[in-house]
């Protein structure tokens, strides 16, 4: 079974819109776990636009499933990860003006800086994941650099679905699935764990969940969006059902 890690950043986005105390990400994590989440993910951004350091401390203390910390490879974030010891460190590129993570890491260009960062994370006993495009050269660079996990960027697939009128079987979407499928096989052949995520929704998740070799899907925005209408527990449970169905189709 593919595991579902639920990114709850956007619960904090709503809270920060008013700079107040609700909705509480800890409560959201409880509801997500009751809905079947296998892991909880948060991204501490440099500008702290949603999750705050205090959220990380509170979630670390409270959450009983694996807690994943998404971050940019900076000295500040390295110190935070080493202090709080999440169950996995997920490295992403971070642009100050981006709305969300826009692309995978350029491990080829950034190898020496990433290598030192990864070594320290691993010395502190945490697995470290690279958010990476479906590109064989980048995957090989991630392996050489010391990453233990690759998370394949599914954003281009999600965009292809939107651009093609929400079709899941037009040529552009199938081509994107094919690229992701090859990337997943390549990660697995190098002996690394392969995860995937970004832009996945209740509608489009089936295409990616049908790919063999994926260990975890990391999904946030769509789950939090639907939770406004159904509640978090139900939204997560529906996503789990969609993943299960796609795997057995
Ligand atoms: N994986 C990574 C590396 C991300 O940066 C994000 C967004 O924070 C996600 C997965 C989840 O993406 P989405 O919110 O579009 O489901």
Structural domains of the chain in order of their starting residue, each with its CATH number = 3-248 (3.20.20.70)
Using one digit for the tens of pLDDT, what is the confidence trace for 194-246?
999 999 999 999 999 999 999 999 999 999 999 999 999 999 999 999 999 99
The pLDDT of residue 111 is: 94
Name the closest-CA residue to atom 15, ligand 1: 199
Q: Where are the alpha helices (DSSP H) in 20-106?
A: 25-34, 53-62, 75-84
Catalytic residues: 43, 70, 198
Q: What are phi and psi of 212, to 5 degrees?
A: -80, 140
The pLDDT of residue 28 is: 98
Question: What mean pLDDT comes out for the span 141-149?
Answer: 97
* Percent share of the chain, pLDDT over 70: 100
Q: Rounded to the nearest whole angstrom, what is the distance from the C-alpha of residue 200 to the centroid of ligand 1?
A: 8
Using one digit for the tens of pLDDT, what is the confidence trace for 31-44?
999 999 999 999 99
Q: Which of 123, 124, 30 is nearest to 82 (CA)?
A: 124
Pocket of ligand 1 (CB under 6 A): 7, 9, 43, 70, 90, 92, 100-101, 131, 151, 197-200, 218-222
Q: Rounded to the nearest whole angstrom, what is the distance from the C-alpha of residue 218 to the centroid of ligand 1?
A: 6
Q: Which of 71, 215, 51 is nearest to 131 (CA)?
A: 71
Residue 210: CA count within 13 A, CB half-sphere: 11
The pLDDT of residue 136 is: 97
Using one digit for the tens of pLDDT, what is the confidence trace for 94-104?
877 777 777 89
The pTM for the full model equals 0.96
Q: Rounded to the nearest whole angstrom, what is the distance from the C-alpha of residue 197 to the centroid of ligand 1?
A: 6
């Amino acid at each position: 079974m593919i595991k579902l890690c639920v990114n709850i950043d956007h619960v904090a986005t709503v809270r920060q819109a008013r700079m107040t105390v609700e909705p509480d990400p800890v409560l959201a994590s409880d509801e997500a776990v009751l809905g079947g989440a296998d892991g909880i993910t948060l991204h501490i951004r440099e500008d702290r636009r949603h999750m705050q350091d205090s959220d990380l401390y509170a979630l670390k203390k409270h959450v009983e499933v694996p807690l994943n910390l998404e971050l940019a490879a900076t000295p500040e974030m390295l110190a935070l990860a080493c202090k709080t010891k999440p169950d996995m460190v997920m490295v992403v590129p971070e642009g100050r003006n981006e709305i969300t993570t826009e692309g995978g890491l350029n491990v080829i260009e950034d190898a020496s800086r990433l290598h030192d960062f990864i070594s320290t994370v691993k010395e502190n006993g945490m697995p470290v994941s690279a958010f990476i495009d479906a590109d064989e050269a980048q995957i090989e660079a991630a392996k050489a650099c010391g990453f233990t996990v690759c998370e394949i960027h599914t954003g281009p697939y999600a965009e292809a679905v939107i651009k093609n009128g929400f079709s899941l079987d037009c040529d552009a979407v199938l081509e994107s699935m094919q690229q992701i499928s090859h990337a997943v096989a390549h990660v697995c052949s190098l002996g690394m764990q392969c995860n995937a995520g970004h832009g996945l929704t209740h509608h489009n998740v089936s295409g990616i969940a049908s790919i063999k070799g994926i260990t975890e899907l990391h999904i946030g925005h769509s789950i939090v969006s639907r939770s406004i209408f159904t509640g978090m527990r139900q939204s997560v449970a529906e996503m789990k059902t969609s993943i299960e169905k796609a795997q057995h189709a």
